[in-house]
Amino acid sequence: MNNIEKYLLELLDSPLQLGALILGMIAFLAIIVFANSYLFYFRLMFLNLRRNIIRTSLTAIASIVLVFVVTLVWTVLWFLNLVTSEKAKDFKAIITEKWQIPSQMPYAYEASLSEGAPGQEGDYKIDKSVDAMTWQFYGATIDPEKKTRDNIIFFFSMEPMKMTKMMDGMEEYSASQLDQLNKLCEEMVKDKRKIIVGTERLQAINKKVGERIKLTSFNYKGIDLEVEIIGSFPEGRYNQSAILNRDYLNDSLDDYNRKNPNSKHPMSNRNLNLVWIRVPDKDVFQKVERQITDSPSFTSPAVKVETASSGISTFLDAYRDLLWGLRWILAPFILATMALIIAVAISISVRERRKEIAVMKVIGFTPIQILFLVLGEAVMVGGFSGLVSSIATTMVINNVFGGIKFPIAFFPIFMIPIDAIWWGPAIGISTALGGSLLPSLSACRVKVSEVFARTS
Amino acid sequence: MSENIVVRVENLTKSFSRGSEKIDVLEELTLEVESGEFLALMGPSGSGKTTLLNIIAGLDTPTSGTVTVGKNLISKMSESMLASWRTRHVGFVFQFYHLLPVLTAYENVELPLLLLPMTRAQRKVQVMNVLDLVGLSGRINHIPGQLSGGQQQRVGIARAIVTDPELIVADEPTGDLDSKSADEILDLMGVLQKTLGKTIIMVTHDPRSAARAQRVLQLEKGKLVKDSRNFSYVTGNAGN
């Protein structure tokens, strides 16, 4: 299934989006009918805009730039909104240590937590082979003598085959990319020393696929691993990430403890950071949450169960002010600036054409027709600029730059969604309407006798 | 109203306020114009000629009194009604042509027809007819900047008559033209009146232009003071 098919299916799932799509199609048909009947009006609007090409171009360029910035800002907000929105079905939950950040639970919790801690008959049991995933964070450097930001790698240590089934963002990849990832995961299962590293991280450590490296850990001191890079993630969210087979980490930890029976590794009972589970609906989630929190097995340390969106929201709390500023100050400020730019351009244009507007009134054009003519010119500039900007922004940012690099929490990069294609025209048209309303009203209120009294 | 009267102005007054001062531009003016008449309105600057013309054409509203054109009491119409009425019943010719500079001669003439329920083919026939009448069928794709003053005014006249209105009002139509072009325009207006039976009201300062009219009305300080066809016709307060 390609991205367009996926998008269409998503549309069908959402009544709101489906309604918007139908309305959009009706509007499109209306425009075609309108254009056919009143082609002259469109031509007149176009010619009026063309009479001062420099002014129109500058207005359009300003709109394109501002739509570009708004698209970037909205992409970040849209994505964070998406991941923090509660889903009704098939959603993920995160189980972490209750009283400590970062969460560090004993690995002994893994078996039961991955199944939802069923203890009694009638309890819900999660199928851990498909609906559970554990994360153990393993940080290491390839140059222990001189640890820098560029030579460290941060691993999600996990079961490789859970990656494409459980990790967020996999739906952004194409079928062939997922196939390729699954093949890499199978290799990781066969040989636990094999790893996958994101493209940007590979560049940062100056290594290539196929190379073997030695990892010196800084959070699992003494647990140093030798690994082989067998592949990288497709461009996107996991550019900076890396995956390690959890068996390799756990076996190495066991080895360490066997060799040092009198001084177990300090991470021995703290080596499980997160457990992800997938539940079919809210009722099951609540039931599993009760099973886990009521269980006497998880009291030291105590654990908590949150929906993934709630868990991510907690992570994003640190960025709350920044996000609030983006949403309520930067974006509205840019939209207001766009409206003002269009207002100024249209005001000057109307002022220059007062006599022509008066002549049109003499001929028989009604005030409302004049109003729509002027509004139409603004909408033409705003809508066109918005469309050009959103298409160019989406293509260039996603395909050339590989997304917006704006690391927030554990989201290093944001891909512009396909929805952004209509954000541009919507922003352009709405700011054009807002900005040109006063100039249009002034145009339709032109008094013919006053204009010609001045002329004569 | 007599069948033959196209424009009837009764006790028309138009006043403006400037601060606390009230200025009467037209005072208790009464006037009738017959169908097919070519009337010239003359008078010094500020005598109220253009104001009278604007009120008769439905571009301005009187302070008091009534104006009836055809069977329509236009002095009581709303702005939107007046706009619709003007499209069908009045053609306006300006001193400075006032063509839309971005449109071709053809499109400028077509403009009023866009407000009427006509197909593109019907519009084309009508536009080509009037452009032919004014002698510009060979210049349909020229924009105003590519036409001489006389040609632009002929386009202006074509635009005024394209909807086949019964009344044509012209505000100094030859005021911006050389004498040769002015003569051509006046000839054309004569053709409109004599051949097509249009009623024409023309404001002018130029006695030569006024001499082409059947009837000349003289305004002074908002009052009708002279009617060259029949001096005893003067009503209102003039000469009282």
The token duo for A155 is 């691993």
Contact B147, B179 (CB under 8 A): no
Chain A residues touching B80 at Cβ < 8 A: 366-368
Residues in B lying within 8 Å of A, measured between beta carbons: 50-51, 54, 57, 59-60, 79-80, 83-84, 86-88, 92, 94-96, 98, 100-103, 107, 110-112, 114-115, 159, 171-172
> Cα(A172)–Cα(B90) distance, rounded to whole angstroms?
65
Same domain, residue pair A343 and A441 = yes
Q: CB of A36 within 8 Å of any CB in chain B?
A: no
Query: Which of A301, A334, A365 is where one domain is finished?
Result: A301
Residue A234 is predicted with a pLDDT of 86
| Pairwise CB contact (< 8 Å): B79 & A367 | yes
Say yes or no to pLDDT of B207 above 90: no
Domain count for chain A, please give it: 2
In a domain, A180, yes or no: yes
**For B146, which DSSP code?**
G
For residue A455, give how far its alpha carbon lies from the nearest alpha carbon of chain B (Å). 9
Same domain, residue pair A246 and A366 = no
The token duo for A267 is 């991470």
Same domain, residue pair A287 and A324 = no
The token duo for B63 is 């302070």
Same domain, residue pair A120 and A242 = yes
Report the b/e string of A85-98 with b at 16+ CB within 10 A: eeeeeebbbbbbbe
ipTM: 0.85
In a domain, A12, yes or no: no
Residue A439 is predicted with a pLDDT of 93
Q: Which CATH number fits domain B5-233: 2.130.10.10, 2.40.40.20, 3.20.20.70, 3.40.50.300?
A: 3.40.50.300
Task: Compare CB distances from B50 to A50, A365, A456 and report the shortest one's residue.
Answer: A456
Say yes or no to pLDDT of A109 above 60: yes
The set of long-range contacts for A11-20, using a CB threshold of 8 Å and a minimum separation of 24, is: none
E strands within chain B?
A: 5-18, 21-34, 38-42, 64-69, 72-73, 90-93, 167-171, 199-203, 215-220, 223-227
Strand partners, A123: none
Q: What are the backbone angles phi and psi of residue B72, rounded to the nearest 5°? A: -105, 125
Same domain, residue pair A358 and A410 = yes
Residue A327 is predicted with a pLDDT of 86
Residue A456 is predicted with a pLDDT of 46
| Pairwise CB contact (< 8 Å): A367 & B80 | yes
Q: CB of A53 within 8 Å of any CB in chain B?
A: no
In a domain, A25, yes or no: no
Task: Say which residue, B41 or A452, is predicted with more confidence.
Answer: B41
Say yes or no to pLDDT of B3 above 70: no
Say yes or no to pLDDT of A90 above 60: yes
State the residue for tokens 């079961």. A159
Q: What is the DSSP pairing of strand B215-220 with strand A404-408?
A: unpaired
**Closest-CA residue to A250 (of A273, A282, A281):** A273
* Local structure of A126: helix, strand or coil: coil
Strand partners, A92: A278
In a domain, A396, yes or no: yes
Same domain, residue pair A140 and A44 = no
Residue B199 is predicted with a pLDDT of 94
Task: Compare CB distances from A355 to B50, B98, B171 and report the shortest one's residue.
Answer: B98
| pLDDT tier at A2, thresholds 50, 70, 90 | low
pLDDT tens readout for residues A292-304: 998 888 888 999 9
| pLDDT tier at A68, thresholds 50, 70, 90 | very high
Query: Which of A301, A332, A365 is where one domain is finished?
Result: A301
Question: Could you tell me the end-to-end alpha-carbon distance of chain B, in angstroms, rounded to an integer?
Answer: 26
Say yes or no to pLDDT of B1 above 80: no
Say yes or no to pLDDT of B140 above 90: yes
Residue A431 is predicted with a pLDDT of 92
| Pairwise CB contact (< 8 Å): A364 & B83 | yes
Residue in B114, B163, B167, B203 to test binding to A, most A beta-carbons within 10 Å: B114
Is the peptide bond between A106 and the residue preceding it cis, with omega within 30 degrees of 0? no
Alpha helix ranges (H) inside A38-52: 39-50
The token duo for B44 is 């010094």
> Residues 6 or more apart from A186 whose CB is under 8 A from it?
A160, A161
Residue B2 is predicted with a pLDDT of 56
Same domain, residue pair A242 and A352 = no
| pLDDT tier at A5, thresholds 50, 70, 90 | low
Task: Compare CB distances from A365 to B83, B94, B107 and report the shortest one's residue.
Answer: B83
Contact A209, A232 (CB under 8 A): yes
Residue B233 is predicted with a pLDDT of 28
Residue B240 is predicted with a pLDDT of 30
pLDDT tens readout for residues A361-371: 988 888 888 99
The token duo for B81 is 């009604």
In a domain, A413, yes or no: yes
State the residue for tokens 């700011």. A431
Same domain, residue pair A271 and A327 = no
| Pairwise CB contact (< 8 Å): A359 & B84 | no
Average pLDDT for chain A = 86
How large is the average pLDDT for residues A316-345?
89
pLDDT tens readout for residues A389-440: 999 999 999 888 878 888 776 677 788 888 888 889 999 999 999 999 999 9
**For B234, which DSSP code?**
-
Query: Which of A239, A273, A301 is where one domain is finished?
Result: A301
Chain B residues touching A360 at Cβ < 8 A: 100, 111
Say yes or no to pLDDT of B237 above 50: no
Strand partners, A299: A302
Alpha helix ranges (H) inside A96-218: 110-113, 128-131, 163-166, 175-190, 199-205
* Local structure of A194: helix, strand or coil: strand
Same domain, residue pair A110 and A70 = no
> Residues 6 or more apart from A275 whose CB is under 8 A from it?
A94, A95, A96, A105, A109, A110, A113, A114, A132, A133, A134, A135
> Cα(A250)–Cα(A307) distance, rounded to whole angstroms?
27
Q: CB of A47 within 8 Å of any CB in chain B?
A: yes
DSSP one-letter string for A290-356: HHHHH-GGGBTTBEEEEEHHHHHHHHHGGGHHHHHHIIIIIHHHHHHHHHHHHHHHHHHHHHHTHHH
Same domain, residue pair A232 and A342 = no
Angle at which helices A448-455 and A354-363 cross, to 10°: 120
Say yes or no to pLDDT of A1 above 60: no
Say yes or no to pLDDT of B226 above 50: yes
> Cα(A291)–Cα(A285) distance, rounded to whole angstroms?
10
How large is the average pLDDT for residues A116-141?
90
| pLDDT tier at A3, thresholds 50, 70, 90 | low
Task: Compare CB distances from B115 to A43, A50, A364 and report the shortest one's residue.
Answer: A364
Chain A residues touching B112 at Cβ < 8 A: 363-364
Task: Say which residue, A35 or A203, is predicted with more confidence.
Answer: A203
Q: In what order do the strands lie in the sheet with B21-34?
A: B21-34, B5-18, B64-69, B72-73
Q: For residue B29, how far is the Cα from the chain centroid?
A: 18
pLDDT tens readout for residues A137-191: 999 999 988 888 888 999 999 999 999 988 888 887 888 999 999 999 999 999 9
Say yes or no to pLDDT of A227 above 90: yes
Residue B230 is predicted with a pLDDT of 39
What ranges do the domains of chain B cover?
A: 5-233
Kindly identify which residue of chain A lies nearest to residue B109, measuring between CA atoms.
Answer: A363
Chain B residues touching A355 at Cβ < 8 A: 98
State the residue for tokens 């002018």. B204
Percent of chain A with pLDDT over 90: 44
pLDDT tens readout for residues A192-210: 999 999 998 999 999 999 9
In a domain, A293, yes or no: yes
Say yes or no to pLDDT of B151 above 90: yes
* Local structure of A364: helix, strand or coil: coil
Question: Residue B202: left if φ>0, alpha if ψ -120 to 50, beta else—which one?
Answer: beta
> Cα(A276)–Cα(A279) distance, rounded to whole angstroms?
10
Say yes or no to pLDDT of A213 above 90: yes
How large is the average pLDDT for residues B156-160?
93
Contact B202, B196 (CB under 8 A): no
Percent of chain B with pLDDT over 70: 94
Average pLDDT for chain B = 87
Residue B238 is predicted with a pLDDT of 34
User: Whole domain around residue A165: which residue ranges?
Assistant: 100-301
> Cα(A227)–Cα(A422) distance, rounded to whole angstroms?
45
Task: Compare CB distances from A40 to B83, B101, B114 and report the shortest one's residue.
Answer: B114
pLDDT tens readout for residues B56-109: 998 888 999 999 998 889 988 888 888 889 988 999 999 888 999 989 999 999
Q: CB of A10 within 8 Å of any CB in chain B?
A: no
Question: Residue A122: left if φ>0, alpha if ψ -120 to 50, beta else—which one?
Answer: left
> Cα(A319)–Cα(B131) distance, rounded to whole angstroms?
70
- Number of Cβ within 10 Å of residue B129's Cβ equals 15
Query: Whole-model pTM above 0.90?
Result: no
Kindly identify which residue of chain B lies nearest to residue A355, measuring between CA atoms.
Answer: B98
Residue A388 is predicted with a pLDDT of 94
* Local structure of A223: helix, strand or coil: coil
Residue A6 is predicted with a pLDDT of 63
Contact B161, B92 (CB under 8 A): no
Same domain, residue pair A288 and A239 = yes
Could you tell me how many residues make up chain B?
240
Kindly identify which residue of chain B lies nearest to residue A43, measuring between CA atoms.
Answer: B103
Say yes or no to pLDDT of A10 above 90: no
In a domain, A210, yes or no: yes
Strand partners, A411: A408
> Cα(B70)–Cα(B54) distance, rounded to whole angstroms?
16
Q: Which of A6-10, A34-38, A150-154, B136-140 has the lowest mean pLDDT?
A: A34-38
| Pairwise CB contact (< 8 Å): B50 & A362 | no
Name residue B115's amino acid: L
A168 exposed, middle or buried (CB, 10 Å; 0-12, 13-18, 19+)? Answer: middle
CB contacts < 8 A, A to B, total 75
The token duo for A64 is 């394109």
For residue B37, give how far its alpha carbon lies from the nearest alpha carbon of chain A (Å). 22
